[in-house]
Chains A and B, each alone.
Chain A
Amino acid sequence: MGFVTATAARQAGRNFFELAAQFRSFATIGFRRYATYRQATVASLATNTTFGFLRSYVLLAVVAASGAGSIAGYSRAQLMSFVWLGQGLIGVVLLWGWNDLSERIRSGDVVMDLLRPQHPVFAYVSADLGRAGYAFATRFLPPVVIGSIVFGMALPTRATTYALGLCSVLLAVLVCFLCRYLVNSCAYWLLDNRGPTMAWMVFSGVLGGLYFPLRMLPGWAMWALWLGTPFPSILQAPLDVISEHGGVPGPAAMLAVQAAWAVVLLAACLLVQRRAERRLVVQGG
């Protein structure tokens, strides 16, 4: 018997249809897997909704205290859209609580992912898009409905906003997934991945526009975050696109930044994956 390499020879789909079929099976797996976590979905939903109330009241107090009818270019109704769409999107992009990959690296189970003929990034991203599809129905819509009933939200006035918003959410899921993949991949080098996980949790929320709209920051800080970090591409971008904020950056610019980050992060993931496979020693041999 010859020398066995750590990874199988990868065959991408030989044509588009084969690739699409592979994507579909992984996405279905992702969808089905999360559809079985019903109690967890209910618990997350209750948590997101409670924090939605909290953030709504705080931002409304900021508007009330500032004396003007709007802050940072958001009307009252737009701020409520910002809060409740944000609470819904947390679950769709799955901002927190995904350490599947780092756990598999730590335990050595990751070898199963590497032996598949599909590239692991492709397999994981497909499954994550399937998961996002399930989350869109179960974790996005309920908070948005509750928010619009209790506080009143600004519904999009232009038909194009729905299309642009959907693209923006899709890109946000992709960017968030790629970030999580990179954070999880640190485990190839560290094994104990607590540090990177924690750093990600802190920065993704506060610098991504979950706690306050980034437009409340001074201009230079906002631009530095937009262009220098992927965080605003995860929440701030889809939130501003759907709530139709009129300021700069406009929807086209935000989508462009999101797309650029998706490309950069994808390249980074592929590079990291290649490096990691050379270095991986499966634990417990």
Chain B
Amino acid sequence: MVDRIRPYLALIATQVRGQASYRTSFFFDLAGNVFFLGADLLALLVMLRTSGSLGGFDRAQVLVVFGLSQVAFALADLAVGNIERLRTYVRSGTLDTVLVRPLGVLGQLLAMDVGTRRLGRLVYSAGILAYALRLAHVHWTPAKALLVVVAPVAGAVFFASIFVATATVAFWWIESGELGNIVTYGGRDFTGYPVSVFGGWFRRLFAYALGMGFVAYYPALALLGVRDPLGLPGWVGWAAPAAAPVAALVAGLVWRTGIRHYRSTGS
């Protein structure tokens, strides 16, 4: 087992050393990611200042949803966010070098570009979540303590699946451009608000068909001990992390199909 992981660890270590040697760049990336989150938080706070509540939830409760979603996204972005670059590899044909090595393709791609620079975002979003949970006066039980750890990890697996699945589109459509952003960054923004904010088919599509309601909203309801204004039973919040393995399975299938469609650039 250790022998199988060792090459990947070596790849990751090389990456981290390489990135840290460009100090200014590293610092800017670190700071930039924190600023981006700050901008999202600012927008949310400005809106809460005007309205006092959103979708039937008060300020602290909305912040719990936001915090859960942000921690999950930051974790996923840290681990697999750079898979977005697959498009560039496919376009330039550099994926060939990855394919000829005797290691798993997806594993190599992930290890080739670890987003250590995104660590700042994870720490910051964890701080927001901790603050929000305190503000919301959660009545802690052992089960809730477990859920508050499991939910962001499951959410991260969910987002990671979305990252991998959308990046795979590049095998068919190289110029897919920012199309993947709809579900990756759009998903991050969607999950940051209570699902009750949204309406109509947009809510049904994103929250239930794509499963994004189960990333932060339903676990937050369980933590807060609040009934779902949309009418789903209370146990859904506890079962929500189960959406992650399903998403991972789908993403895995999409990836396997995609990689078989890879044709090099031929030049």
Contacts and interface: CB of A to CB of B under 8 A. Distances in A.
A70 to B, nearest CB: 11
B39 A46 contact: no
A58 B29 CA distance: 29
Given A57-B199, A65-B52, A65-B53, A205 B179 contact: no
B177 A44 contact: yes
> Which 7 residue pairs of A and B lie closest in terms of their CB atoms, listed nearest first?
A195-B28, A198-B32, A65-B51, A43-B177, A206-B39, A211-B43, A39-B175
B140 interface: no
B30 to A, nearest CB: 10
B131 interface: no
A66 B182 CA distance: 29
Interface of B: 22, 24-25, 28-29, 32, 35-36, 38-40, 42-43, 46-47, 49-55, 173, 175-179, 181-182, 186, 189-190, 193, 197-199, 202-203
A38 B90 CA distance: 19
A53 B43 CA distance: 17
B33 to A, nearest CB: 9
A57 B197 contact: yes
Contacts of A211: 39-40, 43
A205 B24 CA distance: 24
Contacts of A44: 177-178
A51 B54 CA distance: 18
Contacts of A212: 43, 46-47
Contacts of A194: 25, 28-29, 32
A192 B22 contact: yes
A86 to B, nearest CB: 13
Interface of A: 37, 39-40, 43-44, 46-47, 50-51, 53-54, 57-66, 71-72, 190, 192, 194-195, 198-199, 201-203, 205-206, 211-212, 216-217
5 contacts: A59-B47, A195-B25, A203-B39, A206-B39, A206-B43
A49 to B, nearest CB: 9
B32 to A, nearest CB: 4
A37 B43 CA distance: 32
Contacts of B29: 194, 198
Contacts of B176: 39, 43
Contacts, number: 104
Contacts of B199: 57, 60
Contacts of B53: 65
Contacts of A37: 175
Contacts of B178: 43-44, 47
Contacts of B179: 43, 46-47
Nearest to A44: B178
Contacts of B36: 201-202
A216 B186 contact: no
A199 B32 contact: yes
Contact of B47 (A39, A62, A190, A195): A62
Given A43-B175, A194-B32, 14 more contacts: A37-B175, A39-B176, A40-B175, A44-B178, A50-B182, A54-B186, A54-B198, A58-B197, A62-B51, A64-B51, A192-B22, A203-B39, A212-B43, A216-B50
A100 to B, nearest CB: 16
B39 A66 contact: no
A62 B54 contact: yes
A40 B173 CA distance: 11
A61 B175 contact: no
B35 A198 contact: yes
A239 to B, nearest CB: 16
Contacts of A54: 186, 189-190, 198, 202
B54 A65 contact: yes
A217 B47 CA distance: 9
Contacts of A190: 24
Given A62-B51, A66-B52, A202 B32 contact: yes
Contact of B39 (A61, A205, A216): A205
A216 B202 CA distance: 26
Residue with the highest number of chain A CB atoms closer than 10 Å, among B22, B25, B198, B203: B198
Given A65-B53, A192-B25, A212-B43, A39 B202 contact: no
A110 B67 CA distance: 44
B201 to A, nearest CB: 10
A44 B203 CA distance: 22
B72 to A, nearest CB: 18
B49 A216 contact: yes
Contacts of B22: 192
Nearest to B182: A50
